[in-house]
Chains A and B, each alone.
Chain A
Amino acid sequence: MSTLSIGARVAMLCAAALLGLTAAVPAQPQRFPTAVQTDLGGVSLISESDDDETVAGVQVFLAAGLDRQLPSESGIAALVADCITRTPVNGVAVRDAIAQSGGSLDFTVEGRSVHFYIESVPQMLPAQVELFAKALSAPDFSPQTIAAARSALTARINDLEGNALSVAVEMFRRSYFATSAGLPALGSTTAIAALSSKDLAAFYQANYRRSGLSASAAGDLTPGLADALKTLAAGLPEGVVTPVVPKAKPIPENAPRIVSNRDVAAPIVVVGYAAPPPGSADFGAMLVLESLLSNAFERSSATTLGIAERSVGAFYLYDSSPASLVVYVNGTRVDPSIALRELLVAAKSLSLKPLDAEALKHFKIVAEGQFLTGSLMVADRAYLLGTFAAQGLGSDAINAALAALDKTTAADVQRVAKTYLQRYIVALVLPRQNGGS
């Protein structure tokens, strides 16, 4: 029996815990803080408060995304959202009013939703949400505001058109989604040029409803946020937003190829696969496959390579629904046809044989690291919480995803490779030739 006094033992434990020296106390936290889900009278707020953060941010989701558009109105979701950020509140565009009081407002359009993100010095966030609520409840769709929003969107669309990877991913999404969720996030310049105030007002009336609203927040949150969000919800009309069931087209066995020409320096190839949603039993295994396909072909480099410097990379688009896995081959770095062939051989062999224990362990660690280091900003964390919650995954979904990764076995990886990686769509963006399309 130990002769140490209780006091001395407590003292040693205190010291050891501070230094991370005991085996019983983990040396470092391994997981994100658990988020809290709050019902704001029919509107869900999921939040992860951390008073160590320098800022606070809230994502306001509305079921007014790409899947609500008609193909002939491609871009209306983005144009409505842009107009909302330009809507005057007390004579100043709301995004400028928020900036002037120490914050920022922007928006992103996705398949199932549009989300507005407000980031702020912590104590100002509730007041800024209330400012935004005024614009959200009475948006300005005047011709002048639409013209300014259209001009800004056109510039962003043109920017994306010059990015071969972005073009190729959009091509894949268009072929993969069975709904309008596969339309380009910002739309087409032709379609947005034709949209009128009346069109925008109709889209807003149909989709900006209280029942389609949810929010997620992260950072140094103050108690006033919940009330501000209630005010925001109260400003939206009641009424049901009919859900659009996310749906993908079945990927044919013959590996369809889509080709497009753009003003780019070198070809880029995107191979798109169907993928399991977060929360499914296959999620962890697909994270392993993402890290494997992303890293297995890459040349060694002293420092971490950026997207443009990589030969091959992979993105698991688990935040969109249906989910997908996109692997790209960068024609400025490697011969695309050789890399593509190697990628397809790898996908086949992963389905035929389980990874050995060492390789599985290695790619699980890499996958966990990439998952963790992919959500560093307050905006990223709030977004991830909100998008997981929208898929019905609850308040601890980020940690659940990490747990799923921990539990993944070699058999899981093989099964998932067999289920998802044997059918694919190839999107190829080629440099434009003289007179090419």
Chain B
Amino acid sequence: MISLGAVAAALALLAAFVPAGAATGDLPQLGPHVSVGTLQAGGTYIVRPATGAPIAAVELWYRAPSTGFGPKPIPSLSRLAAQVVIASKPLIGSSLGRLVSDLGGRLSVNAYSDSIDIGAVVPAAHAREVVKAMTTAFFAPVISDDGFHAAQQDVAQEAVFESFDPAAVVRDAVFAQLFSSGPQHYPVLSDAKQVATITPADVRAFATRAFRSQNAIFVASGAIDPSLAAAAVGGRPAAAGLAVPEAPATPDVASSPHPVSASFPEPSGGYGWAGPPIAQEREATAMDFIADYLFREESGVVSEAVADKFPDALLIGQFITLHDPGVMFVAYAGKSVDQVKAQVDAGLEMMRKPLEPRTFAHALAAFRFHLLSDLQTPSEMADNFGWYSVEGSPEYAPGANGDKGSYAKAADSLTADFVASVAQKYLSVTPVTVTLTPGKKSS
């Protein structure tokens, strides 16, 4: 039996190793298995240990506009800046990219309009060294010439790949029309020519402001222990005049968006609607439900019908939960684009009326399963905490607090009538429409 004194001694010892600020009052409560605290030099950490496979996901999330903080928008800047930091070799040791590759892990950068995440999946035994290397690289960024040129080449190539992706082209066109200002108005990854115009000074200015510990949300999940956040380095002290952290973006929604017609090698199209903000949890969850029921790959009713009738077609539909507003986005492509569009329209029309009780019950059971299925890997779990944190509502993350969490409660509260009312409210207004046709000039 261990005495109370021994327990107290253990707790005292443990406390000495927990990063500063771990017990401050305004940190989100994400469940008994999730440690949340403040990093040494500011910023939040979220660590979700799990049993099972000896894998760890280590991620840094930042609120940062993809076009930079300056008055002149520079599309692709956030993506390039992150890749430069990853590729730049510090004075001591290898670059972050090299370290993860040498561990047989995977390193990714995902840039969004208003945020960016850098994620690594590595054997859990090496999680600490990756945390140290990632925070060393990003809390005090080094921008080397070699790193800049290598990253510029990589990002330019990615831009070329993306320019052939109909979903990405439609998304950029939808967002450009839906939002009249802010980073959402511009593509996250523009064309290769534009990437070539970005300078090291642009990257340095962006990295200095965006990649601060105080602006960071550090997330880790997998076969790790709660003290992993202690491996994060301190980084630069908070700079005067900079928000800690940056505020979530609230772009202006265009008052009268126009339909877009443009040229693209494959017939393609899509829609976009402004949806509820993240704070409207029940409505946002209803929009997720609608997207899941209609468009989930392989099981959505529209997706299945399209796959059955037009096997070459591409169809993507999702509700993108954002700070304010969220966006319902649909993209399709293929030879039979008009017929696919008709299927999409019919599906959306169906959602404006309540589903039959039996159909709704089945759809809700499927939705709950999909939520859980999408949280099964360490990186999926980390992504979910990171995304909802940068959008301003970590406690609404589907992985937070299990079946007692905000998201689970919102899902449980859905009714067929409420879902239909949300579809009526947000999806009955005229959407932004995009039509891409081979050989057609842009309008």
Contact = CB atoms under 8 A, between A and B. Distances in A.
Interface of A: 7-8, 10-12, 14-16, 18-21, 26-33, 50-55, 99-104, 119-121, 151-152, 154-155, 158-159, 219, 291, 295, 300-304, 308-309, 362, 365-373, 375-378, 381
Given A373-B104, A373-B106, A302 B154 contact: yes
A100 B366 contact: yes
A54 B402 CA distance: 9
Interface string B377-417: 11100000000000000000000000000000000000000
B5 A7 contact: yes
Contact of B122 (A18, A31, A369): A369
Contacts of B362: 99-101
Contacts of A366: 101-104
Most B CB atoms within 10 A — which of A119, A121, A295, A301? Answer: A301
Given A19-B17, A100-B365, 6 more contacts: A50-B51, A302-B83, A302-B107, A303-B109, A366-B104, A378-B376
A395 to B, nearest CB: 16
A8 B9 CA distance: 7
Contacts of B51: 33, 50-52
A288 to B, nearest CB: 11
B378 A376 contact: yes
Interface in B87-101: 87, 95, 97-98, 100-101
A18 B14 contact: yes
B236 interface: no
Contact of B372 (A54, A155, A300): A54
B98 A300 contact: yes
B105 interface: yes
Contacts of B97: 300-303
A372 B104 CA distance: 9
Interface in B5-55: 5-7, 9-11, 13-14, 17, 50-55
Contacts of B2: 7, 10-11, 14
Contact of B369 (A19, A52, A121): A121
Contact of B14 (A19, A304, A377): A19
Contacts of B14: 15, 18-19
B86 A303 contact: yes
27 contacts: A12-B13, A15-B11, A15-B13, A18-B14, A18-B225, A19-B17, A19-B227, A26-B125, A29-B54, A29-B125, A30-B125, A50-B52, A51-B51, A53-B376, A54-B372, A99-B366, A100-B365, A102-B366, A104-B373, A121-B372, A152-B308, A155-B311, A303-B83, A303-B86, A304-B108, A365-B104, A372-B123
A436 to B, nearest CB: 22
B225 A119 contact: no
B167 to A, nearest CB: 16
Nearest to B3: A7
A26 to B, nearest CB: 7
Contacts of A300: 97-98, 150
B369 A102 contact: yes
A374 B210 CA distance: 32
Given A29-B54, A99-B299, A158 B106 contact: no
A310 B230 CA distance: 35
Contact of A369 (B3, B103, B224, B365): B103
Interface string B222-234: 0111110010000
Contacts of A53: 52, 376
B265 to A, nearest CB: 12
Most B CB atoms within 10 A — which of A7, A28, A303? Answer: A303
Nearest to A333: B157
Contacts of B150: 300-302
B154 A303 contact: yes
A368 B379 contact: no
Interface string B193-232: 0000000000000000000000000000001111100100
Nearest to B4: A7
A378 B107 CA distance: 21
B121 interface: yes
A18 B311 contact: no
A11 B13 contact: yes
Given A119-B373, A302-B150, A304-B100, A372 B53 contact: yes
B368 interface: yes
A57 B342 CA distance: 36
Contacts of B124: 28-30
The 7 closest A-B pairs by CB, nearest first: A369-B104, A155-B311, A100-B362, A102-B369, A15-B13, A7-B6, A11-B10
Given A101-B365, A302-B87, A32 B104 contact: no
B221 to A, nearest CB: 10
B128 interface: yes
B279 interface: no
A120 B17 CA distance: 39
A302 B109 CA distance: 9
B309 to A, nearest CB: 10
Most A CB atoms within 10 A — which of B53, B87, B161, B378? Answer: B53
A304 B126 CA distance: 17
B78 to A, nearest CB: 14
A377 B381 CA distance: 12
Given A155-B307, A373-B122, A18 B103 contact: no
